[in-house]
Structure 1
């Protein structure tokens, strides 16, 4: 099966430098302009199914890349960004406490936010449910427009990569990865064969 992961476009929250996990920040003018350009220059694959998180920045990104004529199968809270707890909507450079990524990769609870275990459980639980439906429907490809932390978590668990690589995994706004995976429907096991960056046309 083929799973395409796309990060949302550049947002107002990105511009302000804030922790915007579950906060519903919108795409910025820069983000909208970049997505118009990327649609013409990058080869976003067509797939059998299309999913986004339920936050407006992923839904708007999807529409700008794939157009209104391509339907979204579901916009699911399962594919939301990491919830940053008490850090939500606070600028990164105003945090005197431990940076969130430092505790996320150690799976430690922090400032009422999500751990890597909690995030992995919700995204892979949803992914398995989708893949089960796809096996029945004889479909073999899907796209998920989501968030940086979600793309990184997918890759760390499936590649697999050390959690210490969290900071090093590139997740440019509006771009992402194409993963080739096998799915064992009996044992609910997703195995990564390889992955590549979304290529230019």
Structure 2
């Protein structure tokens, strides 16, 4: 088995549609938010060298892309996905580590952040040095939040005036890396927080 994780480029355009289909299928299966993207959007990321793709024996296995705002001061590693056929190989962590390192190389000094409902992604992020933060500490660039329109939970984000949703915001700030203690991931606490959010938002929808 030959596993390859590289910076995506034009050679990987052929995977764009499959990447989008995999993201969409995962969103439906999980019943939670994953912002959907078009093949054209994915190919643009590849063209700009703002994505990482994983292959196994030449077949698409995983993907993640980079977005930047405020002239590169804020960077997000988004759209992390692993094809169902390759989800027992630890690829999610390997892809995330690769795109995280690449983001630091391409955007030195940038704050790297993400929002997610996935506990597995939260665990990977915490291992890399991310900490949970309120949305107010993330970029205030409207284009970032507009990117959430493809998510099934976008209406919640709008109702909460972009201050919270089912996702948890996580931030890696290189300027604070040496002065702050590393965040210790606690799955039970974050799962409870997620369930509280879900119950609260659903309750308000029924009122």
Whether these two folds match at TM > 0.5 is no
Q: Normalized per residue, which structure has more helix?
A: 2
Q: Which has the higher contact order (CA 8 A, sep 6+)?
A: 1
Q: TM-score, length-normalised on structure 1?
A: 0.31
Q: TM-score, length-normalised on structure 2?
A: 0.30
